[in-house]
Structure 1
Amino acid sequence: MIQYKQLMITIGISFFIALILGPIVIPILQKLKAGQSIRHEGPKTHYSKAGTPTIGGIIIIAAVFITTISSGRLNTDLYIVMFATLAFGFIGFIDDFIKVVLKRNLGLKAYQKLIGQVLIAIGIAVYQAKISSYGTQILIPFFNKHYLDLGILYIPYIVFVVVATTNSVNLTDGLDGLAAGVTLIVSSFFSLVALNWGYPSIAVFCGALTGACLGFLKFNAHPAKVFMGDTGSMALGGAIASVAILMNLTLFIPIVGGIYFAEALSVIIQVISFKLTGKRVFKMSPLHHHFELCGWKETKVVIVFWSVTLILCIIGLYALK
């Protein structure tokens, strides 16, 4: 059984790998001219970010994989979460590559992304339903470890969870250090749960993810030297979703990942409101841009969202009892 000391070592190894990879990957992205384009309707303070290298999520993915593979704790569960992370990261990479390297603004079409996401989600759902001793059950928060059996609804439910989570994390990635910092905290939560619930391989993976996000923040914190792009945000979403699925904790994602949920919900509300009434509820969506346009500095928004996530993860730990 992996212990807390081993978990900290795993986090440290992944952290240092990310620190080493940063100065290697960023110049390569600069040579490829993989610069981020900025929305003209967005906050004016973001205009100076135009041209900042993106696709930096490669740093996170590489650090996680190197650390995880070298841990010596490979098993089927670990292969599943690694596959999900890589597969979603690959979808994001293709989209980024088309947009920023080939200079085609549209990238992948929405339906192409959705098809890929659904196929990956179905694979994870089928695996968990057949392999897990809990089958199609999911843990209900705050109900003293009571489980709900979804039966035939399990697979469509998991597909919804995976697609919603990956796209929510993608929407969260809009400010320097926001998605990486929030995911760092969320993955720390899942690593602690995995450690105490007898999922050593998942604990290693989450520890590696935590360390990789922490190392990436060295280059992604304000002012960012590199952005993770869809490569990183999609990979992070796939990682968090698959980890929660394998531990039957999908209902905890809206709790500990409340910031993801709020970001996605703000977009949905904005779109519905504008189509029905012609009016916008928020100054701009996703939610982090609303606060920016309310006068908050970017760093303040990020720190507040990190703090909220930390509080939500503490609530999540209480919800496990």
Structure 2
Amino acid sequence: MWEQVIFFTILLGFLITVLLSPVFIPFLRRLKFGQSIREEGPKSHQKKSGTPTMGGIMILLSIVITTLVMTSKYAEPTVKTYLLLLVTLGFGLLGFLDDFIKVVMKRNLGLTSKQKLLGQIIISVVFYFIFKQNDFSTEVSIPLTDYSIDLGFGYVFFIIFWLVGFSNAVNLTDGLDGLVSGTAAIAFGAFAVLAWNQSQFELSIFSVAVVGAVLGFLVFNAHPAKVFMGDTGSLALGGAIATIAILTKLEIILIIIGGVFVIETLSVILQVISFKTTGKRIFRMSPLHHHYELVGWSEWRVVVTFWSVGILFAVLGIYIEVWL
């Protein structure tokens, strides 16, 4: 039975996004919600200027509708379901504001870093208080051992770090056509398996709802992209996957399953540290996907390679958690 539920959840999420896109993309184009491309980015990206952005709205609509429909029918929504939707929509709204400022108010940098960080922290703290009121565990398990660390009140800082960190990590990864759509589908698919393994079916349904939504989006986001998800989508997906990890108590496993996002973020950090301390750059450009573009790889080759690495990380994370 549950195999059928998972299949129909993915199918519903996929169809909602696919059916919304032909209506929503021309609407975004008429509103002139086109992406501005950074001048310091790869020159090949300049031709993408004007491509409709804020497509993450379609992803969010699909995730919310699919999750509520399928959990109501097959798994009874719980506090965890609503916590997931809270973070996903909260970070999505923050991303929407950022995108709106960029494309409508013509401020290419959107929200300031301080404004964005404040919004992320507020959402994270609200999540923590609801989490704590429901007596969820504040322990962090150490993979491959029987040990766990109870952070107590300090868990609020861990939640802030995890939600802010991974929302920004996915946001940094969103730089090539289809890159985040594919890597997110892989990572959420892995957590769907792990949530199912824990018999947390409502979390598994949410995860596959995301898989269906982003695969439907990928139909229009694959190279050459007809629409970008923008921060509306990437911040929401990053916050959602961090929340899934917290609710399944697989926080550390997320570092492995979300390895592509972690590596992309580390490439930016290392680039900044190297340039500020030595005046030299480690990569031709960061995040890492731009480095491979500038050494001559085609955009599609970079994306497929990163998807493949994402699959390896997802399989490794499942293997460590389920079989070791």
How many pairs were matched up? Answer: 318
Q: Does 1:65 align with 2:64?
A: yes
The equivalent of 1:278 in structure 2 is 279
Q: Is the 8 A contact 1:142 1:318 kept in 2?
A: no
Query: Which has the higher mean CA deviation after the structures are superposed, 21-30 or 116-125?
Result: 116-125
Residues 259-299 of structure 1: per-residue CA shift (max 9 Å, x gap): 10011111111111111111111100000000111111111
Matches of 1:50 and 1:168, distance apart in 2: 23
| SS of corresponding position for 1:40 | coil
Q: Is the 8 A contact 2:177 2:224 kept in 1?
A: yes
Matches of 1:106 and 1:292, distance apart in 2: 23
Q: Does 1:98 align with 2:101?
A: yes
- The offset of 1:122, in angstroms, is 1.7
Which among 84, 107, 112 is matched to residue 109 of structure 1?
Answer: 112
Matches of 2:210 and 2:142, distance apart in 1: 25
The equivalent of 1:8 in structure 2 is 7
Q: Is the 8 A contact 1:182 1:306 kept in 2?
A: yes
The equivalent of 2:139 in structure 1 is 137
- The offset of 1:64, in angstroms, is 0.6
Matches of 1:36 and 1:273, distance apart in 2: 30
User: Equivalences for 1:102-181 in 2 at 5 Å?
Assistant: 102-133=105-136, 135-143=137-145, 146-181=147-182
Opposite residue 131 of structure 2, the aligned amino acid is: Q
Normalising by structure 1, report the TM-score.
0.96
Opposite residue 16 of structure 2, the aligned amino acid is: I
Residues 24-82 of structure 1: per-residue CA shift (max 9 Å, x gap): 11011101101111122221211111110000001110111111111213221100000
Opposite residue 138 of structure 1, the aligned amino acid is: V
Matches of 1:167 and 1:85, distance apart in 2: 13
Question: Which ranges in structure 1 are unaligned for 5 or more consecutive residues?
Answer: none
The equivalent of 2:87 in structure 1 is 84
Matches of 1:106 and 1:166, distance apart in 2: 17
The equivalent of 1:188 in structure 2 is 189
User: Equivalences for 1:216-255 in 2 at 5 Å?
Assistant: 216-255=217-256
Opposite residue 61 of structure 2, the aligned amino acid is: A
| SS of corresponding position for 2:176 | coil
Opposite residue 122 of structure 1, the aligned amino acid is: V
Opposite residue 100 of structure 1, the aligned amino acid is: V
| SS of corresponding position for 2:263 | helix
Residues 144-167 of structure 1: per-residue CA shift (max 9 Å, x gap): x54322223211111111110000
Q: Is the 8 A contact 1:43 1:289 kept in 2?
A: yes
Q: Is the 8 A contact 2:183 2:307 kept in 1?
A: yes
- The offset of 1:8, in angstroms, is 1.2
Question: Which ranges in structure 2 are unaligned for 5 or more consecutive residues?
Answer: none
- The offset of 1:132, in angstroms, is 4.7
Opposite residue 158 of structure 2, the aligned amino acid is: Y
Q: Is the 8 A contact 2:36 2:108 kept in 1?
A: no
Question: Kindly, what percent of the aligned residue pairs are identical?
Answer: 50
Opposite residue 23 of structure 1, the aligned amino acid is: P
Q: Is the 8 A contact 1:92 1:230 kept in 2?
A: yes
Q: Is the 8 A contact 1:19 1:215 kept in 2?
A: yes
The equivalent of 1:20 in structure 2 is 19
User: RMSD value over aligned CA atoms?
Assistant: 1.3
Q: Is the 8 A contact 2:66 2:209 kept in 1?
A: yes
Opposite residue 304 of structure 2, the aligned amino acid is: I
Normalising by structure 2, report the TM-score.
0.95
Opposite residue 176 of structure 1, the aligned amino acid is: D
Matches of 2:195 and 2:85, distance apart in 1: 16
Matches of 1:8 and 1:148, distance apart in 2: 36
Opposite residue 293 of structure 1, the aligned amino acid is: L
